[in-house]
């Protein structure tokens, strides 16, 4: 049996195709990812732009054609923050149904957080540890605490990279006053979640998403690390990550690609994302950021897209 899973995300649209071997085993046949930036401008205008609307449909149509060529039996599709927030999000999904036959399910932020944690738990042996999982997406940042048996806490915060970009309306460098405003906003939005997480306690932090992977890789290389084939179990000092974030905030958008690991498609918004989560706020005791690159899961579909996972060891 062949299955495909597609994630219509705020930043990127993903699809993975697998051949199921047994209930928990499968072989990955194809992976696709297109950084459509469906949510660009959505959190300011509350609408998908014409460009994003048309590009999103084009990418999904291409994915469906690929799935048909491979001979998949079913395509599982979910849509997240941009579609939830956009006034024309339902119209976009109607066009998806009309043009491809797919019927994407809009999932809530809490459900997204739950699925992210299930995906991580299915990929990482937590043993007797309690893990704090962060996923910095385009529209929202999900925070989850759980162990190998139970999900203990979850929240979805409106702190995605494109959400912040729309709020602060500037892709350029950020001065001291702008940083204070950014930090104050993140603290205000995340304060209740951070307080609950600290009170609950955790043994390690796991970060997922392409944004975290890019920051981890760039910080590792900027600090003199060797070139990486993938970001997999490479340790980055938190002070290097913080240093990179400070530099990105001072750097003009056109020059951010000078940091190896940061693609030109991420330069508009990635400079603000390094402020989340703040390890000092979480009272982490050690100073290492362990970045790993895992495969075959994405948002808990059970089959999955490449998920970039970074560990911060308390």
Tokens 């084009």 -> residue? 58
**Residue pLDDT, tens place only, 87-111:** 999 999 999 999 999 999 999 999 9
In this predicted model, what pLDDT tens digit does every residue of 167-198 receive, in sequence order?
A: 887 677 788 888 888 888 988 999 999 899 98
The structure tokens listed for 248 are 């990105």
At the topology level, CATH places domain 2-106 in: Nucleotidyltransferase; domain 5 (3.30.420)
The domain 109-313 is placed in CATH, from the list 3.90.1300.10, 2.60.120.560, 3.30.420.150, 3.60.10.10, at 3.30.420.150
Alpha carbon of residue 112 to chain centroid:
11
pLDDT (0 to 100) of residue 210 = 79
Rounded Cα distance, 185 and 201, in Å:
24
Q: Per residue in 224-265, pLDDT tens?
A: 877 655 554 456 677 788 888 889 888 888 899 898 888 888
Domain definitions of the chain by residue range: 2-106, 109-313
Query: Considering the entire predicted model, what is its pTM?
Result: 0.81
- pLDDT at residue 112 greater than cutoff 80: yes
d(CA 171, CA 208): 23
The answer to whether 2-106 and 109-313 have equal CATH topology is: yes
CB of 80 closer than 8 Å to CB of 301: no
Pick left, alpha or beta for residue 41 (phi over 0 → left; psi -120 to 50 → alpha; otherwise beta).
Answer: left
Alpha helices per DSSP H over 86-227: 89-100, 109-123, 161-168, 176-200, 210-222
């Amino acid at each position: 049996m062949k299955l495909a899973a597609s994630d219509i995300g705020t930043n990127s649209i993903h699809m993975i195709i697998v051949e199921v071997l047994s209930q928990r085993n499968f072989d990955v046949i194809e992976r696709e990812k297109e950084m459509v930036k469906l949510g660009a401008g959505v959190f300011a205008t509350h609408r998908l732009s014409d460009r994003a609307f048309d590009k999103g449909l084009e990418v999904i149509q291409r994915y469906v054609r690929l799935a048909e060529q491979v001979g998949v039996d079913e395509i599982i599709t979910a849509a997240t923050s941009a579609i939830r927030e956009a006034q024309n999000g339902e119209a976009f999904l109607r066009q998806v149904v009309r043009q491809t036959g797919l019927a994407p399910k809009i999932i809530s932020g809490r459900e997204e957080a739950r699925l992210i944690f299930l995906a991580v738990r299915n990929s990482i042996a937590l043993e007797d540890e309690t893990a704090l999982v962060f996923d910095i997406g385009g529209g929202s940042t999900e925070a989850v605490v759980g162990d190998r048996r139970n999900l203990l806490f979850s929240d979805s915060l409106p702190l995605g990279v494109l959400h912040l970009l729309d709020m602060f309306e500037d892709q350029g460098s950020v001065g001291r006053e702008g940083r204070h405003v950014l930090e104050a906003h993140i603290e205000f939005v995340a304060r209740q979640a951070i307080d609950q997480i600290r009170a609950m306690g955790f043994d390690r932090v796991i970060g997922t998403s392409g944004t975290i992977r890019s920051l981890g890789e760039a910080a590792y290389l900027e600090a003199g690390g060797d070139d990486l084939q993938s970001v997999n179990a490479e340790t980055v000092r938190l002070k290097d990550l913080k240093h990179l974030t400070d530099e990105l905030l001072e750097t003009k958008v056109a020059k951010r690609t000078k940091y190896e690991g940061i693609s030109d498609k991420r330069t508009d918004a990635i400079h603000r994302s390094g402020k989340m989560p703040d390890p000092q706020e979480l009272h982490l005791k050690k100073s290492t950021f362990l970045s790993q690159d895992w495969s075959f899961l994405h948002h808990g579909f059970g089959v999955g897209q490449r998920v970039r996972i970074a560990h911060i060891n308390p």
